Amino acid sequence: MLDFLIPGKPLQSHRPCSASFGTQTLFPSAITPTVHPYPPIPSPTRFPKKKKKEEEEEEEEEEEEEEEEEEEKEEEEAKKKNMINLTRRLRHRLPPSLLPTPNLNRALSAPITPTPKPKPEVPAASHTEPQRRSGAGEVGREAVAFDGGVVPGLTPTMARFTLGGKVAVVTGGARGLGWNMSQALAEAGAQAIALIDVKQDLGDAAAAELRSTAGIPVRFYRVDVRDANAVADAVARITSDLGSVDIVINSAGVVDSNIKAETYDAAMFRNLLDVNLTGSFLVSQACARHMITARAGGSIIFLSSIAGSRVLHPQQQCAYNASKAAVAQLAKSLAAEWAPHSIRVNTIAPGYMDTALNREALLEGQKKHWSAMTPMGRLGRPDELNGLAVFLASDASGFVTGAEILADVSCNLQQLFAEWWEGELLMA
């Protein structure tokens, strides 16, 4: 009776109705899909222009990476060459007995061979980020071998002390501390050196000797550092002749000793300040202008004295003491002003040195007194400041500026101890 409810069975009409279904199936076994009136949305792969643009961008990125790799390789090769040049110079200048370690002896007796870069290991997953040693990988990434072992991936320390490609200007470079420091810069691999002095004969001889021993361009420029126009003209000629100015050592200076303050001539006082203070400023200013224009940075080194921080006795030299104190403060001021231009400014403050300025007959008695004041019982040798000059001139001191480094064999420390001891006695 209920055949019309059976699926698939033809529907039969048992009574008249307004609509007849005929033989249509009430529940068809399959439903015919309806065609959507809108076209399907194309997939991203159907945009060839966009895909081509992405491929071009990837190719450009790959090309940029390849160019960066090539530049890094060229820089590393240049630094390796500088290291080899430095090594050869040291090999000829230092006897094996003076070299500190056997491994260093071997390094200086043979060309440097690059060590393959170790493949970095993928660290295990952890909750802390791996720590990286500050400064690693900036100058070179080859492993460095000393007696203590091999440390892969660290920057070779000696590579930071090289001066390859750098041009140095040294005032007072024909004699004394300036001459010694010029030799040190040449040994450290300086590309060229300009010597400034007022003594024509001494300057010509010094330049010729340094050219012969170092085998690099060395030029002498006769300049009175008190004359601003002469200084500016000399620096312009130096940049034209040698290409640039990267290092400046202000070593030109004079000293007037054993002159009582109440009888000190005003003209002499002004002259000493003009040479020691104003001259150092004018040379630094002219060279800094070039460094700022070239956007290459640089290192400027002043020579002050322990006389700038303490009154030396028994000699009477108020003008000299004042000039050296001013030089130290000038250097700190310039360090602050020129730091944004990557120009570092530092000061070396020597103690009692056995230089030409202190080899007068009138000072023989005082030199014995000075020697007795130092814990080592002697005066400093001029070449004992060379390492410090190279350090401040090179990238080894890249994070040092505005510093005044005392090199006085603890003479200053001895005074501090004496003052402390005197205070203890007063409080007892």
pLDDT tier for residue 59 given thresholds of 50, 70 and 90: confident
Does the pLDDT at position 69 exceed 80?
yes
CA distance 222 to 230: 9
Does the pLDDT at position 184 exceed 90?
yes
CA distance 139 to 396: 10
pLDDT of residue 403: 96
Please give the share of the chain, as a percent, with pLDDT higher than 70: 59
Answer for the pair 251, 198: CB distance below 8 angstroms, yes or no. no
Paired residues of 219 in beta bridges: 194
Does the pLDDT at position 276 exceed 90?
yes
pLDDT digits (tens, 9 = 90+) for 31-53: 555 555 556 655 555 556 666 77
pLDDT of residue 156: 81
pLDDT of residue 371: 59
Does the pLDDT at position 307 exceed 90?
no
Q: What is the mean pLDDT of the chain?
A: 76
Does the pLDDT at position 125 exceed 80?
no
pLDDT digits (tens, 9 = 90+) for 81-124: 777 666 666 555 554 444 444 444 454 455 444 445 455 454 44
Answer for the pair 284, 343: CB distance below 8 angstroms, yes or no. no
Does the pLDDT at position 408 exceed 80?
no
Instruction: Find all residues with CB under 8 Å of 66, minimum gap 6, and list them.
Output: none
Known catalytic residues?
305, 320, 324
Does the pLDDT at position 150 exceed 50?
no
Q: Which of 48-52, 159-163, 300-304 has the highest mean pLDDT?
A: 300-304
Answer for the pair 272, 281: CB distance below 8 angstroms, yes or no. no
For helices 318-338 and 266-273, what crossing angle results, to 10°?
A: 30
Does the pLDDT at position 134 exceed 70?
no
Q: Which of 93-107, 226-240, 254-268 has the lowest mean pLDDT?
A: 93-107
Answer for the pair 329, 279: CB distance below 8 angstroms, yes or no. no
Does the pLDDT at position 229 exceed 50?
yes
pLDDT of residue 144: 43
| Average pLDDT rounded to a whole number, residues 264-291 | 96
pLDDT of residue 11: 52
SS (H, E, C) the chain: CCHHHCCCCCCCCCCCCCCCCCCCCCCCCCCCCCCCCCCCCCCHHHCHHHHHHHHHHHHHHHHHHHHHHHHHHHHHHHHHHHHHHHHHHHHHHCCHHHCCCHHHHHHHHCCCCCCCCCCCCCCCCCCCCCCCCCCCCCCCCCCEEECCEEECCCCCHHHHCCCCCCEEEEECCCCHHHHHHHHHHHHCCCCEEEEEECCHHHHHHHHHHHHHHHCCCEEEEECCCCCHHHHHHHHHHHHHHHCCCCEEEECCCCCCCCCCHHHCCHHHHHHHHHHHHHHHHHHHHHHHHHHHHHCCCEEEEEECCHHHCCCCCCCCCHHHHHHHHHHHHHHHHHHHHHHHHCEEEEEEEECCECCHHHCCHHHHHHHHHHHHHCCCCCCECHHHHHHHHHHHHCHHHCCCCCCEEEECCCHHHHHHHHHHHHHHHHHC
Does the pLDDT at position 131 exceed 50?
no
pTM, rounded to two decimals = 0.61
Q: Tell me the backbone φ, ψ of residue 78, rounded to 5 degrees.
A: -65, -40
pLDDT of residue 43: 56
| Average pLDDT rounded to a whole number, residues 295-300 | 96
Does the pLDDT at position 153 exceed 60?
no
Answer for the pair 197, 175: CB distance below 8 angstroms, yes or no. yes
Q: Tell me the backbone φ, ψ of residue 67, rounded to 5 degrees.
A: -65, -40
Q: State the residue for tokens 């002390």.
A: 161
Q: Which of 52-61, 101-110, 332-341 has the highest mean pLDDT?
A: 332-341
| Average pLDDT rounded to a whole number, residues 322-351 | 96
